[in-house]
Structure 1
Amino acid sequence: MATFGVGGFFPEEQSQEASPSTQGSKYLILAVVFLRFAFAGLAIIAKSALAKGMSPFTFAVYRNAIATVTFAPFALIFERTNRPRMTLSMLYKIILLGLLGVIEQDLYYTGMKHTTATFATALYNVLPVITFVLSWILRQENVNFRSLRGHAKLLGTLVTFGGAMVMTVIKGPVIDLSWTKDTTSAHINPQNPILGAFMILTACFCWAYFHILQADMLESLKPYNFELSLTTLICTVATVESAITTLVIERGNAAIWSIHLDIKLLAYIYGGIICSGVAYYIAGIVMKQKGPVFVTSFNPLTMVIVAVMGSFIFADELDLGKVAGAIIIVIGLYLVLWGKSEKKD
């Protein structure tokens, strides 16, 4: 794998000039950070839309349908000459990927509806740990526990999770920020935090296995340019599966299908184009080189971003616990990145 320079902490890894592989690693890091900002934006938009009556189930339908319509032309144009032949094994995996995506979206946003955007993104920080353990069990992630970098990957994952828990559990004194003193902002009280937490945790398992299965599929088809086509196929299958799920669960409620120029429509479009289409595509490219653990290791950044955005948009107060947790998360991510920079454990 590419070497990621880490400065003075590990001087033996330094080089006089950045190699092409190092530059490539930096671009991959920027790509994953972009995904975190994208999903943080969706958390804010979706929570506002849910407060306006958006159904989590129709959200999944419209989100995947918009992603399909948007990316199908690009897949047909750019990957028409280098696309693998569809097999029963591929079809099965695509159907399973679509189903995992639908279950994750339905459970996560239903859980968010019962809690808050900050709580949902905080609890979702178990994702890197779940992905790491599942990848290790399925032998997609190699960890040599006798090597320094192997220890760094494990310790970094645990530190990142610990930082997320600090942000969640420890409050501390409130940091005095002038823009958080607006008490007129709408704060939504949790309806059922226990049920919401259970749904979010179940969504984490689905999303972790989604990344592992997607990475495995792309690795087996590495000679082909298949990322756009796979994104389109997953979203197409997910549209059908989520539509069936919605018709069964929300039967008789025709009002949830209505579309107007409001925050709900923004959630459909933003979620479809950015967080389904673009996110699946970028995550696929990154996982081809770095694996699913690398992608999900950055997930705690979402909570940091949501906490900051929430302080501006919803006038949510920032406390010392959130700031301390954010610093710990950065340290954990740094350890994971250094541990992942080695070609072999």
Structure 2
Amino acid sequence: MGEQRVRSALSKVINKVKPYIAIVSLQFGYAGMYIVSLLSFKHGMSNFVLTTYRHLVATILIAPFALLLERKIRPRMTLPIFLRIVVLGLLEPVLDQNLYYLGMKSTTATYSSAFVNMLPAVTFILAVIFRLEKIDSKKIHSLAKIIGTAITVAGAMVMTLYKGPIVDFIKSGGVAHHGTTTESADKHWVTGTIMLLGSILAWASYFILQSFTLKKYPAELSLTAWICFVGMIEDGILALIMVRDLSAWKVGWDSRLLAAAYSGIVCSGIAYYVQGVVIRERGPVFLTSFSPLCMIITAALGTIVLAEKVHLGSILGAIIIVSGLYTVVWGKSKDVKDAETDEKIKELPITNSATQISFDDNIDGASKTVTIPASKNSGDIKTIP
């Protein structure tokens, strides 16, 4: 009995920790992609060609696993589900990634990764609109989600409207100076910011639609393979229209091949699958709550590998965004605890006598006891402090 209890406890801990480990690992993967992709762009690779090759690699990687592992549980493909997959392929592989790459080329990898911190706020707003998130103005944690979203948007505005002096962490030990560089002057910050905003809106919409699609087609690997395949075709058509030079499709043993293989395996194939699993378990808002970690990793790599200059406005905006983000995450964590408490109450058996259950209150941490009546006609549930 003792060993079984220990195993059961360990199993519960592992199940709770798994989503966190998966999402944190993805942030490292995304940070590497930003650096590798920008290196390939500096060597002349087109972002349209990169997205096409990226999803070709992802399709080759995921499709065999989907065919073998989900052959018994994969639902039948219907026209409404396929149309949703077509839209998913348009939102994420085509619009999100191409707009993001264009925005990153117009700014920097560090600025772009910091701007992605707006993603949780945009996802939260869309989740409220489509009733995936509930708002109760009488509860503190619901108000925290609204306030945190507003703070996040304010941080993004600071990043957009205030550039500020360059903060050179490597050469001057983190001391801000007012000099400018040719690289900084050549960047089209306004255009890049608009493209990044469009990318984030498409990405958030993708998560919302993916959440709905998984309810009709609960096979994460198969859905991932379909999205990568359809996205590859849509990207290929767009690339042929935008890139007329056929030599742009040539890939050698260089950063172009590395960018296509790395982003296809890690950031499309593996990431789409992990995102699908986490969304089904925790929801789209939880999924996007760890993006600040990616910003920190990318900023470090961008400064060391690409010698990027970080502006004071980006740092201040990022700090504001992270503050707002974790205000939203705090409110979301309270929602999860509320849902778990409701599930425990629903699972209690109805007996001939009243049943009591004790639990820690989600708001103030105080211990409370809930009294369950013997039948539906026995009266309302009573809470004893």
Q: Whole-Å Cα distance in 1 between the matches of residues 201 and 144 of structure 2?
A: 23
**1:6 matched residue in structure 2:** none
Paired with 1:113 and 1:204, the residues of 2 have a C-alpha distance of 16
CA drift of 1:280 comes to 0.6
Equivalence for 1:64: 55
Q: Which residue of 2 aligns with 1:207?
A: 203
Q: 1:81 — aligned with what?
A: 72
Question: Structure 2 vs 1, CA of residues 256 and 237 (structure 1 numbering), >3 Å: closer, same or farther?
Answer: same
The structure with the larger Rg is: 2
Q: Specify the code of the residue in structure 2 equivalent to 1:242.
A: D
| Equivalent in the alignment of 1:233 | 226
C-alpha distance in structure 1 between counterparts of 2:51 and 2:171, whole Å: 37
Contact 2:124 2:285 in 1 (8 A): yes
Q: Does 1:147 align with 2:147?
A: no
Equivalent of 1:283 in 275, 291, 295: 275
Q: Residue 192 and residue 290 in structure 1: after superposition, are their counterparts in 2 closer, same or farther (change >3 A)?
A: same
Which residue among 225, 250, 255 is the counterpart of 1:258? 250
Q: How many residues align?
A: 321
User: Aligned equivalents of 2:101 and 2:77: distance in 1?
Assistant: 32
Give the conservation status (yes or no) of the 8 Å contact 1:104–1:203: yes
Q: Classify 1:329/1:129 alpha carbon distance in 2 versus 1 (closer, same or farther; 3 Å).
A: closer
Looking at structure 1, the residues matched to 192 and 280 of structure 2 have their Cα atoms a distance apart, in angstroms, of 33
**Paired residue type of 1:250:** V
Instruction: Report SS of the residue matched to 1:47.
Output: helix
Check 1:114–1:177 CA distance in 2 against 1; reply closer, same or farther (3 A cut). closer
Q: How far has the Cα of 1:190 moved from its partner?
A: 3.9
Any conservation in 1 of the 2:151–2:320 contact (CA below 8 Å)?
Answer: yes
Distance 1:170 1:21 in 2: 47
- Unmatched 5+ stretches in structure 2: 1-8, 175-181, 340-385
Distance 1:303 1:166 in 2: 16
Shift of 1:118: 1.9
User: Relative contact order, CA 8 A, sep 6+: which one is greater?
Assistant: 1
Give the direction of change, closer, same or farther, for the CA distance of 1:288–1:327 in structure 2 (3 Å limit): same
Aligned-pair distance for 1:61?
Answer: 0.5
> Given the alignment of the two structures, is residue 192 of structure 1 paired with residue 215 of structure 2, yes or no?
no
Q: 2:212 matched to 1:216?
A: yes
* C-alpha distance in 2 between matches for 1:285 and 1:307: 28
Task: Say if 2:63 and 2:222, in contact at 8 Å, map to a contact too.
Answer: yes
1:151 Cα offset (Å): 2.0
Flag the 1:269–1:179 CA change in 2: closer, same or farther, 3 A: farther
TM-score, scaled to structure 2: 0.74
Change (3 A) 1:36 1:159: farther
Take 2:171 and 2:140, find their aligned partners in 1: how far apart are those partners? 45
Give, in angstroms, the shift of residue 211 of structure 1: 0.7
User: Normalized against structure 1, the TM-score is what?
Assistant: 0.82
2:134 maps to amino acid: N
Consecutive unaligned residues in structure 1, runs of 5 or more? 1-17
Aligned residue identity for 1:192:
H
Shift of residue 276, structure 1, vs aligned partner: 0.5
Higher strand share: 2
Match of 1:95 among 82, 86, 100: 86
Label 1:127 to 1:187 Cα distance change in 2 as closer, same or farther (>3 A): same
1:314 to 297, 306, 315: 306
Aligned to 1:50: 41
What root-mean-square deviation, in Å, do the aligned CA atoms of Structure 1 and Structure 2 show? 2.9
- CA shift for structure 1 position 194: 2.5
Name the amino acid aligned to 1:91.
F
Q: Which range moves more in the overlay, 172-181 or 207-216?
A: 172-181
> 148-157 vs 160-169, which deviates more?
160-169
The amino acid of 1:299's aligned partner reads S
CA–CA separation in structure 2 for the residues paired with 1:109 and 1:262 = 19
CA distance in 2: counterparts of 1:165 and 1:304, whole angstroms: 19
Moved more, 20-29 or 253-262: 20-29
Distance 2:77 2:272 in 1: 20
Preserved CA contact (<8 Å) 2:147 2:324: yes
Aligned to 1:41: 32
Q: How far did 1:86 drift?
A: 0.5
